[in-house]
Amino acid sequence: MKMNKQKPCVLITGSSRGIGRACALLFASRGYHVFLNCRSHQKALSDVASKISSFPGGSCELCPGDVGDPGDVRKIFDFIRTSDYTDGGLDVLINNAGISHIGLLSDMSDTEWMRIVNTNLSSVFYCCRESIPYMVSRKKGRIVNVSSMWGQSGASCEAAYSATKSGVQGLTRALAKELAPSNIQVNAIAFGVIDTEMNACLSPEERESLAYDIPAGRFATAVEAARMIWDTAHAPEYMTGQVVGFDGGYL
């Protein structure tokens, strides 16, 4: 028999590291039951779960799987729908899973292209599609999509990444219009440079040069990014269809 739902529930894709990890810890510390997801970093995901379990009243469940694969996404949401902590679905969906690819577009293989499209863009579609029916039935829900400033301006040698993040922004704006009559808010955050493992490939000289170009003079932290996601997920209901910049003044 299911327990009575006592907490709001959130799924955070790509929550084993970086922004996703910081976001999971923040939501858990503020009373959410967190569904933790990642594709391959299972040890890191278990470490996040252990951290959450140490919080007073902290609760979470692991939902491993590739959110770029529609079959895996269906399994993840079957698990969420039958969890003792839900009454059938999510209160908040945070589409955070993402990968980068640096290199000339002409050198990119078909496999590399499809991997970044599936991970960064198709995953948002798959997870939204599974989340929406429950949210519509309740006339309530929040979806926050993690995008990038490169989805607005484009980045040399990151054409595929920029294209997927631009796609996330277009999907956000269109879906917000579709769901506004059902009182479901859909917004995206166009992050600038965040100090996570995604930027670990940068040399010290490249980091210094990039920080110099940012008016704020530094990279943002994953904790700052998580706070922005929290604020967006809890913004007034009238805020929907927005792509909010969080880039230290870069754009």
Enumerate the active-site residues. Answer: 161
Q: What angle separates helix 42-53 from helix 18-29, to the nearest 10 degrees?
A: 20
Q: What is residue 9's DSSP assignment? A: E
11: nearest Cα among 77, 84, 100: 77
Given a contact cutoff of 8 angstroms between Cβ atoms, the answer to whether 135 and 183 are in contact is no
Separation in Å, CA 16 to CA 20, 47, 60: 6, 8, 13
Q: Which of 95, 109, 206, 195 is nearest to 160 (CA)?
A: 109
Q: Which two tokens stand for residue 140?
A: 């309530």
**Cα 196 from Cα 38, distance rounded (Å):** 16
Residue 57 buriedness (CB in 10 A; 0-12 / 13-18 / 19+): exposed
